[in-house]
């Protein structure tokens, strides 16, 4: 369900490295429940935009609002507390922990950061129950107690999303969530992402156009640090500028 207040809005974000402009007046909106893809050729500025939104990189100018709250000046950890979470292109998991251990730890960390010091077995029980519920959402319940290193890579990527969900995000930024996953398994991974609850808005970077056009409800096309077009998949597919700079050039984004 979309409401008037977007879950995330950036306004005229700019960032330069010396003379190289990597973000040019980037204004985007993510409505509640969005499943938006961010695409563009290599070096277009997609990961940079995610870094600017999370606060890992500071914009030279522009504003960012999460659920109407201006977070432009807030550090990354505060943004996570307000509900803005990301995943990375590379695997950042602990190989010897089981998924339920990793997710439960992430939940306990969230509670600690929120200033609620959990005491006693009941509280831990609640964290474990919540952890199982998250793993169930990501179809990982059956492998909950296996060491992470023994899981197929696609399930490891889902576990990274599970850890992100442990922060209770309103907005989830996924930087190539299927990177490294065999092509035949990406669609299954994206169906799980698409089926996340509607109160989580998702922006994902993905190079595989079949996946993008199957799972994105809208597509933001970036070129040279700027937004070329933001539209529904059918409009993006038939836009001559997109074909020229991007789709017609190569299968790799």
Binding site for ligand ATP (CB under 6 A): 17, 22, 40, 42-48
Nearer to ligand ATP, 40 or 154 (CB): 40
Task: Give the shortest CB-178-to-ligand ATP separation in angstroms.
Answer: 14
**Distance in angstroms (rounded) separating the CA atoms of residues 217 and 41:** 20
Of 43 and 147, nearer to ligand ATP (C-beta) is: 43
Burial tier of 82 (Cβ tally within 10 Å: 0-12, 13-18, 19+): middle
Nearest distance in Å: CB 42, ligand ATP: 4
Between 17 and 117, CB nearer to ligand ATP? 17
- Residue 78 or residue 90: which is nearer to ligand ATP going by CB? 90
* Least distance (Å) between residue 226 CB and ligand ATP: 12
CB of 87 to ligand ATP, least distance (A): 14
Exposure class string for 182-204: b at 16+ Cβ within 10 A, else e: eeeebeebbebbeebeeebbbbb
User: Beta strand pairing status for 35-39 and 201-205?
Assistant: parallel
The 8-class DSSP code of residue 81 comes to H
d(CA 154, CA 166): 19
């Amino acid at each position: 369900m979309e409401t008037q207040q977007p879950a995330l809005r950036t306004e005229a974000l700019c960032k330069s490295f010396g003379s190289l402009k990597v973000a040019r007046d980037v204004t985007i909106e993510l409505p509640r429940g969005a499943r938006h893809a961010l695409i563009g050729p290599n070096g277009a500025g997609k990961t940079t935009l995610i870094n600017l939104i999370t606060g890992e990189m500071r914009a030279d100018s522009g504003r960012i609002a999460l659920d109407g709250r201006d977070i432009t000046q807030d550090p990354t950890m505060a943004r996570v507390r307000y509900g803005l979470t990301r995943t990375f292109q590379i695997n950042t998991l602990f190989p010897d922990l089981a998924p339920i251990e990793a997710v439960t730890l992430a939940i306990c960390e969230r509670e600690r950061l929120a200033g609620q010091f959990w005491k006693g077995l009941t509280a831990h029980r609640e964290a474990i129950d919540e952890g199982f519920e998250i793993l169930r959402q990501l179809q990982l319940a059956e492998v909950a107690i296996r060491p992470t290193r023994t899981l197929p890579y696609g399930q490891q990527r889902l576990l990274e999303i599970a850890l992100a969900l442990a922060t209770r995000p309103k907005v989830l930024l996924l930087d190539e969530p299927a990177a490294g996953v065999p092509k035949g398994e990406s669609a299954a991974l994206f169906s799980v992402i698409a089926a996340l609850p509607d109160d989580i808005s998702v922006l994902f970077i993905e190079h595989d156009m079949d996946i993008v056009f199957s799972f994105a409800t809208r597509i933001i096309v970036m070129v040279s640090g700027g937004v070329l077009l933001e539209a529904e998949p059918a409009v993006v597919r038939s836009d001559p500028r997109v074909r020229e700079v991007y789709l017609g050039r190569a299968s790799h984004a």
